[in-house]
Every structure is written in C-alpha cells, then in structure tokens.
Chain A
Amino acid sequence: SQKIEQNSEALNIQEGKTATLTCNYTNYSPAYLQWYRQDPGRGPVFLLLIRENEKEKRKERLKVTFDTTLKQSLFHITASQPADSATYLCALDPRRALTFGSGTRLQVQP
C-alpha cells in the first residue's frame, strides 16, 4: 500500500543550526512533492513545491531535495530561529488530492 513516512519524534535543535527533516514514501510515483508548515490551532501553510525532475529547490533559508530513486525528500532550514518551531508536513499527489504525511515537530531552542 502507499505510505508516506515522516519522523514522528520531535526534532530539537539549537538556534542558528541547520534543521533537516526527512520524508520517505513507498509505492508512489509522484510528479511533485510539497512541504507545509503547521502551527498549533492553525491550518497548514504551503512552503515549497519540488517537481520530479528537480533535484533541489531553494527559497530564502529553506532548501528541499527530491530523490525519486531513494523515494525521499529532505527539507532543510538553515540558520534556524525559534520562530521556525512548528510541525512540518510533506505531501504527495498520487490521485486527485494531496496525501499528507503525519508531520515532524521541530523545536528550535534559543
């Protein structure tokens, strides 16, 4: 069956370090992959989309990689700040609507 896996354990890092979150998937052949940020009590907010023919995408302090051979995407936040603390979700589109991973909570310590 199709599955999207994100590390369910929270990631704790120090301010200024680079945070790296992982999204693995099985039994999908997505044309693209998306990353979202979700704060408590709020809906997810779209951050980045990367297509299957793109290896890497950057937006300000964010960088996403997409390896269709490994079936994995890595999401990096450089020079992390306490304000980056949130849950980050990856999402794939196998059909007509996005399927989301369960997310990884990031906590950036000042």
Chain B
Amino acid sequence: GAGVSQSPSNKVTEKGKDVELRCDPISGHTALYWYRQSLGQGLEFLIYFQGNSAPDKSGLPSDRFSAERTGGSVSTLTIQRTQQEDSAVYLCASSLDSDRIYGYTFGSGTRLTVV
C-alpha cells in the first residue's frame, strides 16, 4: 500500500482480556518497528524486526507482550491479560533499510483503552 496501515484504529478492552494489534508496512520495507506513546509522552520503543526475525526485543515491558512478523510483511503485536497501564497509542513504523537513513514511515496508530 501507499503507507503503513494499522488496525484497529481504536480498541477498548476490559482488563484481563487479550488484544491483537495489526500492522501492514509499506511493501518492500524490510525493517518494522513497534512503539507506544502514552498521553502527552514521547515514543517508547517496544520491538524491532528485520525481515521475520526480531534482533531487538529489549523494549517489551513484560512477558505479556509479544510480537511476530510473517512473510516479511504483516506484524501482529499481542498483549495478554491487559492492564490499565497498557492504555496508550501503539505505533508501527517501517523503513526501507536497516540503516534507517531514509527515515521511518509511521502508521496512524492504534489507540488502546483498557477499562
């Protein structure tokens, strides 16, 4: 597609439920990133994919968070047993190369609200 697509755009879930967030990167972009942004805060790095492998998972806040990428394309971020502190906007980005000299292209994010 023309840009990075994320779905759903909004998700309200009850505490304790599992959620899946999807990211469709730009076709041909080998690198894919997940960040989250709490209200009025900066971007917090979660995980990075190069192809289907994740060389850097250091930002995942707990073992309730996991992500996968298949076919070098679509990625899914899963949060199990959601907690209220998981409420944030989850942003996905892709880049043409692992050197990132072309910058990241971000999606519009998924706003997750845990009630």
List residues of A whose CB falls within 8 A of some B CB: 32, 34, 36, 41-46, 49, 89, 93, 95-103
Q: Is B42 a contact partner of A102 (Cβ separation < 8 A)? A: yes
List residues of B whose CB falls within 8 A of some A CB: 4, 33, 35, 41-43, 45, 48, 55-56, 59, 91, 93, 98, 100-109
Could you tell me the dominant secondary structure of chain A's interface residues?
loop
Number of A-B contacts (CB under 8 A): 52
Q: Is A97 a contact partner of B106 (Cβ separation < 8 A)? A: no
Q: Is B48 a contact partner of A49 (Cβ separation < 8 A)? A: no
User: Shortest Cβ distance from B50 into chain A, in angstroms?
Assistant: 8
Measured CA separation A46–B96 after assembly (Å): 13
A selection of 12 A-B contacts at a CB cut-off of 8 Å is A34-B100, A41-B108, A43-B107, A46-B102, A46-B103, A49-B101, A89-B43, A95-B56, A97-B33, A97-B45, A97-B56, A102-B42
Measured CA separation A100–B106 after assembly (Å): 13
User: Shortest Cβ distance from A70 into chain B, in angstroms?
Assistant: 22
**A96 surroundings in chain B (CB, below 8 A):** 48, 55-56, 98
